[in-house]
Amino acid sequence: MLAQQTIERLFQLRLTGMAEAFSVQLQDTGYHDLSFEERFGLLVEQEWLHRQNKRLTRLLRQARLRLPACLEDIDYVTPRGLDRGLMKSLGTCQWLTEHLNILVCGPTGVGKTFLVSAFANAACRQGFSARYYRVSRLLQELSLAKGDGSYPRLLSQLAKVELLVLDDWGLAPFTETNSRDLLEVVDDRCQVRSTIVAAQLPVEHWHGLFPDPTVADAVLDRLVHNAYKINLKGESMRKIKACKTTPASDQLIPALKGGSKCSSAGKLSGESITPS
């Protein structure tokens, strides 16, 4: 009875990990040979693990990542210009503590969204908060927030997120309103938070997305000069995977019509650049 009361007290104190571990210890006679200090240490360790897992679940849910991607699952076999050493270094998330940015550029389907989602996943696993946005959706939310009066609160929330991921940057030129909204977002984060941007256009072409050169200078100055730049090159990963799963008889059709063959996927190249 005393043991059951202890378990109930642990649940009431929200020490769920300890309560569950204590129940296991009571049922498993193998723990009886351990000292009090050893058994208590195991209880504390289980409670710590329970809270870490609960926090990770919460951070991943709040991040709203586009893909359930991990850095450990990155495909290095298909040559896209990914540097294993750089990926391993970025996986430590030291760049987050230094408030640096990451800019990922490359053509459609080359794996930009997977990569930025993997970076955000790694950040959550190390206790950092993250939030994923497609730029068009973010601009839409900012516009709606102006209408209902929640614009300052939304800007404050974005400023507090330790890692903001902006995917599909520059699919269309920004309007003057879009430009000013983006400036508000990146200015609040400059040198105090980290941002990841994924775009099809190379960085040197971003300036032309903005109607006002002055605003363009301000936005890019806050994003580019303290960023790791990763340039991906090659064909679409979706196309490569489709070629690998297509029956051999079906592959003859595009070849006879002058289409590209699956074997061309091996002729890809790219580069990774450290912060400038």
DSSP secondary structure, 210-229, as one string = -SSHHHHHHHHHHHTTTEEE
Domain C-terminal end among 18, 42, 62: 62
* Widest pairwise Cα distance in the chain: 80
Between 111-115, 197-201, 259-263, the lowest mean confidence (pLDDT) is in 259-263
CA distances for 180 relative to 67, 164, 185, 216, angstroms: 29, 18, 9, 9
Q: What is the model's pLDDT at position 65?
A: 95
CA distance linking residue 108 with residue 106, whole number of Å: 7
Q: 7, exposed or middle or buried, with CB in 10 Å at 0-12, 13-18, 19+?
A: middle
pLDDT surpassing 90 at residue 192 = yes
Q: What is the model's pLDDT at position 243?
A: 65
Q: Are residues 121 and 134 in the same domain?
A: yes
Coil, helix or strand at residue 209: helix
Share of residues in the chain with pLDDT > 90 (%): 64
258 within some domain: no
Q: What is the model's pLDDT at position 1?
A: 52
Q: Tell me, what DSSP letter sits at residue 92? A: T
Q: What is the model's pLDDT at position 240?
A: 64
Q: What is the model's pLDDT at position 179?
A: 97
Domain C-terminal end among 39, 62, 85: 62
List the beta bridge partners of residue 131: 164
For the segment 100-121, what is each residue's pLDDT rounded down to a tens digit?
Answer: 999 999 999 899 999 999 999 9
pLDDT surpassing 90 at residue 266 = no
Q: What is the model's pLDDT at position 245?
A: 59
Q: What is the model's pLDDT at position 241?
A: 62
Q: What is the model's pLDDT at position 33?
A: 86
CA distance linking residue 119 with residue 15, whole number of Å: 31
**What is the pLDDT averaged over residues 139-159?**
96
pLDDT surpassing 90 at residue 246 = no
Under the banding of pLDDT at 50, 70 and 90, the label for residue 4 is: confident
**What is the pLDDT averaged over residues 130-154?**
96
CA distances for 148 relative to 113, 131, 141, 153, 154, angstroms: 31, 22, 11, 11, 11
Q: What's the whole-number average pLDDT of the chain? A: 86
Domain C-terminal end among 24, 46, 62: 62
pLDDT surpassing 90 at residue 29 = no
Q: Are residues 46 and 86 in the same domain?
A: no
**What is the pLDDT averaged over residues 50-65?**
93
pLDDT surpassing 90 at residue 223 = yes
CA distances for 265 relative to 9, 171, 200, 244, 255, angstroms: 61, 25, 19, 10, 14
259 within some domain: no
SS3 content of the chain, % helix, strand, coil (to 5): 60, 10, 30
Q: Are residues 31 and 137 in the same domain?
A: no
Instruction: Give the residue numbers spanning the domain of 181.
Output: 67-235
CA distance linking residue 124 with residue 56, whole number of Å: 6
Structure tokens at 237: 């990963």
Q: How many domains are there within the chain?
A: 2
pLDDT surpassing 90 at residue 132 = yes
φ and ψ of 23, to 5 deg: -60, -40
Q: Are residues 172 and 217 in the same domain?
A: yes
- Between β-strands 271-273 and 227-231, what pairing exists: parallel, antiparallel or unpaired? antiparallel
For the segment 150-187, what is each residue's pLDDT rounded down to a tens digit?
Answer: 999 999 999 999 999 999 999 999 999 999 999 999 99
Under the banding of pLDDT at 50, 70 and 90, the label for residue 271 is: very low
